[in-house]
Structure 1
Amino acid sequence: MPLDADVQNYARALTLRSPDHYRIGPFTVRHNPDWELKFANYAIPDRGAEPSAQEVADLVAAFRERGRLPRLEYLPSWAPAVGPALLAAGFTVESHAPVLACTTDGLLPPKPVDGLRIAEPVTDAEFTAAAAVQHTGFGGEGGPDDGEIAWLRGAVAGGGVAALAVFGSEPAGAGACSVPVDGISELAGLAVAESFRRRGVGAALSAWLTTTAFGRGCHTVWLEPGSPEVERIYAGVGYRRIGEKINISLVQDADRDAPQESP
């Protein structure tokens, strides 16, 4: 199976393992009852799915019944017929996101960062500090949500990795590699505190997380970079493009007549 298909199969398998997932037609929905963040609640189509208009409508209704934005994340090559069906139902493409991966023979060492210490959080205070860096790093205000802390703990408990980077006693960055499936893990939620950016913290964190995931039995770690600048950071430690993921959600009724981008 090509690596991009392996990655999509990983995401679907992990969703099927989650206790609150549900099935609607040819879709598996990742549902997080304690966390409304759209990135924690989305559907993945079955491979080669060809959903009917009614199945798409049922999917939308299921999201709305649970108070969540109807949304999907998937690789178009996995299910080419899904995109046109969603657009016909009024969905809007949020983004086409590159998918990167690093294998055990591809990791490159980053430049050392003097004074930076990276370790896995252990105490409640450390998990909260890591989640706080992620929360503010991705635009949140106030303290981290319980769901953000629980996600980090769940990654570690399931055989993945979490990381907290500090300068002295000050949190500088955080991230995680999620629960592995068949030797594949996702590097996600990597954030660097604003006062420590452009100092090599992101590269050091991503390399540390990837190395640790490999040490725990993974052969591939994949991720979705947030911008071209971030993609360059990951490329510097050995990550390479293997495909493209579509993020697509339902627009407001008033916007449905606007022309939509093709998946």
Structure 2
Amino acid sequence: MDFAVRIQQHVCALARRSPNHLVVGPFLIRFSPDWPSPYANYAIPEQDAEPTRRQIRELVAAFEQRERLPRLEYLPEWAPAVEPALLAAGFEVENRVPLLACTAADLVVPGPVPGLAVSVPENEDEFVALAQVQHRAYGEEGEPGDGELGWLRMTAHGGGAVALARVDGEPAGGGAASISAEGLSELAGIAVADRYRRRGVGAAVSAVLTATALDHQREAVWLEPAEESVERMYERIGYRRVTEKLNISLPRRR
């Protein structure tokens, strides 16, 4: 089976496990009531979907009723007819991003980082410290919300892997590997505090989480790099491009 199909099936399986998912026509929607970020609220078309104009209007209405941006994240080859239909309905492409994957045979463990310790958060203070690093590293203001903390707790207690990195005892980074589905796990939320960047912290955390997921009988771990420089870091620990994802949304009405 094609690796791209496996990744899309993994995403769909996790979305269906969410108590807040919704099916509208040929679309599976994952909503987060406590986390308004567009990256936590999106739809996925069913395989080979050919949505009608009415179904797209119903999709948009479902998002707007929940005060969320109408948005989709999916692999174009999964449902080739969907993108033209969305564009005709006024949606705009945000970007197309590569997806990378790593197997146990490919993983390269990076060298040690002075003063670095990577561990599993064991109490609420450590979960908060990790969420704060992620929140600020991704350019968000204020404090992390319930949705961000809830995602970390759910991942940690639901069979995924969560890691907090400290340098000389100070929170420096972290991330998570998702709960297994379809034999895969997603590496997500990898973040490093500004003062600790370019020291190898991100590579170390990513390698630890990838190894942990693979040790738990995942066939492979995949991820979406935020930018080209980050992609190069993942490539150094064994990740390789396998497909491309489309992010597409309906601009907010003025």
Tell me the TM-score range normalised by the shorter chain: over 0.9
Question: What's the CA shift for 1:73?
Answer: 0.1
CA contact (8 A) 1:173 1:201 kept: yes
- For residue 259 of structure 1, what is the aligned residue in structure 2? none
Provide, for residues 8-28 of structure 1, a one-character-per-residue CA deviation record: whole Å limited to 9, x for no partner.
Answer: 010011101100100000000
Question: What's the CA shift for 1:140?
Answer: 1.0
Provide, for residues 187-212 of structure 1, a one-character-per-residue CA deviation record: whole Å limited to 9, x for no partner.
Answer: 00100000000000111010000001
CA contact (8 A) 1:159 1:216 kept: no
Tell me the secondary structure at the aligned position of residue 85 of structure 1.
helix
CA contact (8 A) 1:133 1:192 kept: yes
Cα distance in 1 for residues equivalent to 2:45 and 2:2? 18
- For residue 46 of structure 1, what is the aligned residue in structure 2? 46
- For residue 79 of structure 1, what is the aligned residue in structure 2? 79
Alignment pair present for 1:186 and 2:186: yes
Cα distance in 2 for residues equivalent to 1:92 and 1:157? 37
Question: What's the CA shift for 1:168?
Answer: 2.1
Structure 1 residues 1-263: aligned runs within 5 Å: 1-253=1-253
Tell me the secondary structure at the aligned position of residue 23 of structure 1.
strand
CA contact (8 A) 2:110 2:237 kept: yes
Cα distance in 1 for residues equivalent to 2:206 and 2:16? 27
Cα distance in 1 for residues equivalent to 2:149 and 2:14? 19
Cα distance in 2 for residues equivalent to 1:167 and 1:17? 35
Tell me the secondary structure at the aligned position of residue 44 of structure 1.
strand
- Tell me the TM-score normalised to structure 1 length: 0.95
Tell me the secondary structure at the aligned position of residue 59 of structure 2.
helix
Q: Which runs of 5+ in 1 are unaligned?
A: 255-263
Question: What's the CA shift for 1:182?
Answer: 2.7
Cα distance in 2 for residues equivalent to 1:252 and 1:141? 21
4+ aligned runs moved over 3 Å, structure 1: none
CA contact (8 A) 1:63 1:69 kept: yes
- Tell me the TM-score normalised to structure 2 length: 0.98
Tell me the secondary structure at the aligned position of residue 114 of structure 1.
coil
CA contact (8 A) 2:18 2:30 kept: yes
Cα distance in 1 for residues equivalent to 2:251 and 2:140? 23
Question: What's the CA shift for 1:88?
Answer: 0.4
Provide, for residues 25-61 of structure 1, a one-character-per-residue CA deviation record: whole Å limited to 9, x for no partner.
Answer: 0000000111101000000000000000110110001
Taking a change above 3 Å as real, the CA distance of residues 88 and 21 of structure 1, as seen in their structure-2 partners, is same
Cα distance in 1 for residues equivalent to 2:37 and 2:187? 18
Letter in 2 for 1:106: D
Tell me the secondary structure at the aligned position of residue 87 of structure 2.
helix
Q: Which runs of 5+ in 2 are unaligned?
A: none
Question: What's the CA shift for 1:251?
Answer: 1.5
Question: What's the CA shift for 1:253?
Answer: 4.8
Question: What's the CA shift for 1:124?
Answer: 0.4
Percentage identity across paired residues of the two chains: 54
Q: What RMSD over aligned residues (CA atoms) do the two structures have, in Å?
A: 0.9
Cα distance in 1 for residues equivalent to 2:248 and 2:200? 32
- For residue 257 of structure 1, what is the aligned residue in structure 2? none
Cα distance in 2 for residues equivalent to 1:228 and 1:243? 15
CA contact (8 A) 1:24 1:55 kept: yes
